[in-house]
Chain A
């Protein structure tokens, strides 16, 4: 491993941060005063013109949050967060009337998304060579800037819009499902999110409809000292299918910024939801200054028989990642999947994994987790697989592999396996190793440069997960894997 060690040494000398999404958009903002109290919550609710029950729900969550304490079981460390020293609402000033057509969006914002490579121009997307069409909901700090392809989707009966808009246009749907997967007091950050979330995406796929294109939300934190608290709710009605993508970036700032999102997925009978995330929030600099605290609650409910929820995540960003996209396998024969690549670098800390809760009969789950630690980072897989008393004939297969690059980083695997039913068959395997000298030597001997060789081997290590991503994302993710390691390794 001499070669890699040398690489690590070289990298330490690189001063330039490689995070290419670290620019700030200079735009006039409409902000709520700093701090968190019932007035602020009332302010956010009023801004969104929410019905009374929503405000009550938020206040209920806030009051419960006040009685809760921050979780301390994860293998992450950070100074206490002053929740009063944050802005809980920030919106571009030009965005007064809520969502609108693309023509009316502030050109500065459009340029931001262009720089990020997010296709907001439907025409441009349509004319694109790849021919891949993705509908995008672009969220900038606390508000949705624009949602594309809404009309085309509406033809199929698919609803794809900001949650605040769904509350106005489809209040019954929202009320029926919101908070049914992640209850108010589920955990500290989800309670906080419930109290103060300002935006998010809402998706509803009607019975029997196969959503004609990939849906995507692009999150951007721009403003300083601002938390982003978005809330996503996706409902796949009976026999429907949707593939949803989520991407995120933020400017480079010296301070830590909080991102506490909640995502709820509901799959009814025979429905399938595929949820893919490429998380590339600003990770902080090489000394660990700045970066996003990504404290996220993501949970899917396979509510109907034969339903399926599949999570795929590529986690390369954030100073701290604390997220466990989970599946509640309630419907008989339902299937939950979790495919994850978590790359930590520099001073990054990741504590991520999944929960597969088998409640229904013949439910199956599969977990493939690939953790790569480099620099001085810490990377933990934490997962729970449980079969309840009445969940007969459940199956789980878990494979967790960790790769260490350099001798200052760490990798941890903490699975919890709880079989309360004798017909459950659970298999768990995990390995921890480094890139083998032989593999590296083989590549080098064939004339492949060292950086490229590491990227190649790591991509091979992650292949099983990369394959799960929608094609147009997979290529992007593969590059990201290379870049993230390049950023601090080679």
Chain B
């Protein structure tokens, strides 16, 4: 599904990623953990195509294609979905309009027919029920006046609706209480399938109690410094990131 090789990236001359390697197979769930500033969010933005980063070295291959040849929306249509850590508020654009526009835009790009309004409404109804999202929430502007939990659930709703192949969850647990976390995790777990890969970015292990990863990677100073199974997350929970912070200093 995704192969990242020796990725180097910088922002305004400041190196953030320094030789990152990662391979995510189809149907696998990978967790990326690491101290603050290790480059976790940068990775998620680069995968989705944000233009603020200079890629100085390396490659990313997605489903066999060079990801760097694709624009932000082409990537989305090709199945890359980023669940944002801080979903932005966009005043004036109704959430429902946005969902329909996004879904149909992706369908058009993929050469599929647009969904009719009744078919779309039926689909939304189905997906919202499971996530405990009230329909009136979707009549409001995107994320405007949403609570922290509502914003995250709205992200997962989009994921459910758009049915991506590669989901990137950037600190999806941040700012959620335990009930909200459970609801979001259930939503994510429902979407697990042999055709769909996931990258779960998190600082804390607690999310991984709910979304059990196949592999865990530790990111520090812009590269993967250790990989292992789900037990690695437990170890990190116990020992913290101190030893990796040291590596960061060495690298810097």
A and B touch in the complex (CB under 8 A): no
Q: Which residues of B contact A (CB under 8 A)?
A: none
Q: Which residues of A contact B (CB under 8 A)?
A: none
